[in-house]
């Protein structure tokens, strides 16, 4: 009897976590890092470069660092930042991304982003592709990037006029 009860509890737990994964779509945890909503904008099939975005929250008491990202859909991927120089917006590669203890780091349009070069397949709205984050302390985590036509609602609100200063 005891075994049967355990099995039922396990099944219930598994069922609810699967459901949560679908409903909340897109949250990942590894060690003390919490990653939310990895996404990318849909692009025309001819596009050779794209960008991916996500937010990383370090809930721990130790700093970590995002060392690199890899994905089978791109020839290579780089961490980029946007900078203002001579009145122009430019982007440049950053070697690694610091994740201080207690911090939240957002990759979003007009800011830090994951640049995808030499795309090997079209980024079609509604589809997903895997991307692996390599952390100095936490190790490797594969996330699914959601390809969508428009930026998520919260990102659209954030990257409005108020950001331009």
Contact footprint for Cu ion (CB under 5 A)? 80, 91, 115
CB of 139 to Cu ion, least distance (A): 25
Residue whose CB is less far from Cu ion, 61 or 86: 86
Residue whose CB is less far from Cu ion, 57 or 115: 115
CB of 103 to Cu ion, least distance (A): 22
Residue whose CB is less far from Cu ion, 37 or 80: 80
Shortest-Cβ-distance residue relative to Cu ion: 80
CB of 22 to Cu ion, least distance (A): 31
Residues 101 and 88 sit within 8 Å (Cβ to Cβ): no
Residue whose CB is less far from Cu ion, 77 or 143: 77
CB of 151 to Cu ion, least distance (A): 16
């Amino acid at each position: 009897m005891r075994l049967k009860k355990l099995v039922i509890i396990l099944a219930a737990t598994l069922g609810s976590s699967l459901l949560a994964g679908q409903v909340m779509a897109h949250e990942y945890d590894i060690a003390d890092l919490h990653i939310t909503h990895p996404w990318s904008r849909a692009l025309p099939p001819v596009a050779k470069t794209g960008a991916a975005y996500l937010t990383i929250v370090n809930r721990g008491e130790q700093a970590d660092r995002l060392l690199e990202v890899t994905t089978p859909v791109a020839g290579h991927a780089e961490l980029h930042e946007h900078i203002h120089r001579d009145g122009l917006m430019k982007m440049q590669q950053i070697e690694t991304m610091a994740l201080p203890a207690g911090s939240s780091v957002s990759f979003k349009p007009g800011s830090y982003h994951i640049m995808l070069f030499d795309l090997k397949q079209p980024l079609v709205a509604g589809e997903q592709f895997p991307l692996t984050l390599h952390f100095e302390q936490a190790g490797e985590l594969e996330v699914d990037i959601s390809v969508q036509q428009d930026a998520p609602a919260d990102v659209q609100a954030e990257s409005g006029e108020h950001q331009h200063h």
